[in-house]
Amino acid sequence: TRSVIGLMDLDQTFEERAFMSKEVVKVLSEIEMPWGIKVHRYEIKNILTPRTVQNAMERQMTAERDRRAVIAKSEGVQGSKINDAEGIKAEMVNISEAEMQRQINEAEGLANEIESIAEATAISIEKIAHALSQPMGADAMKLRLSEKYLNTLEGLGQDKNDIILPKDISSYDAVMKGLSLEEFNEKKKD
């Protein structure tokens, strides 16, 4: 038994009892022939080591368990940091994409608004042009612009604004001439 154990490390002796038993049976088979004995099986039940060796083995096993625990903890911390970083990255990407989509939606909304205003303005201009070409159309326009002019003047007086007025505010004809309606009427008469 000593010769078989001597070939192994101490750690292996506890793990490979079946191998040691086979080796002992093999060695005994060579010795037992002259005696007429046949050993079929040999079992090692216990291996006793000195207390100092047992203490050293226990310290070694404790150190190995501690090492594995430190490695497992380190891997856990590393995995946690990686997950946190990936979460932050995904959040930043989502925020960025949301901001980009908000800007796109805002730009599309503004473009649609501008297009609607342009279409409404074009329709309005067409209607005004058509109305001006009708009998009394220029007079109706003149009346409408006069109303707007007076309402605007009234509103300017109520606010605390600086007001810029034409040189001769009392001359209605000058105002209308400034609006080019008189010229439009004269051209229409020609």
Section 101-110 average pLDDT: 97
Stated as kind and residue range, the H or E segment containing 63 is helix 51-133
Identify the domain boundary among 29, 48, 67. Answer: 48
The pLDDT, as a whole number, for residue 122 is: 95
60 and 25 co-located in one domain: no
The Cα 141–Cα 145 span in angstroms is 6
End-to-end alpha carbon distance in the chain: 137
pLDDT, tens only, 143-178: 888 888 778 777 766 666 666 666 666 665 665 565
Tell me what pLDDT residue 163 has: 60
Regarding whether 67 and 89 lie in a shared domain, the answer is: yes
98: pLDDT strictly greater than 60: yes
Task: Give percent of the chain with pLDDT exceeding 70.
Answer: 73
Point out the least confidently predicted range of 24-33, 52-61, 65-74, 112-121: 24-33
Write the pLDDT tens digit of every residue in 118-142: 999 999 999 888 888 888 888 888 8
**Do 7 and 72 fall into the same domain?**
no
pLDDT at 17 over 60: yes
| Residues 54 and 99 both lie in one domain | yes
Which pLDDT score, from 0 to 100, does residue 37 have?
Answer: 79
162 and 188, same structural domain? yes
Same domain, yes or no, for 69 and 107? yes
Stretch (H or E) spanning 112: helix 51-133
Q: Is the pTM of this model over 0.85?
A: no
- What dihedral do alpha carbons 54, 60, 66, 68 form, nearest 10°? -120
What residues contact residue 177 under an 8 Å CB cut-off, 6+ apart? 183
Task: Name the domain count of the chain.
Answer: 3
Domain boundary among 109, 133, 157: 133
Same domain, 108 and 67: yes
Range of the domain at 55: 49-133
Query: Taking 60 as the threshold, does the pLDDT of residue 115 lie above it?
Result: yes
Span 48-59, mean pLDDT? Answer: 83
pLDDT of residue 147: 84
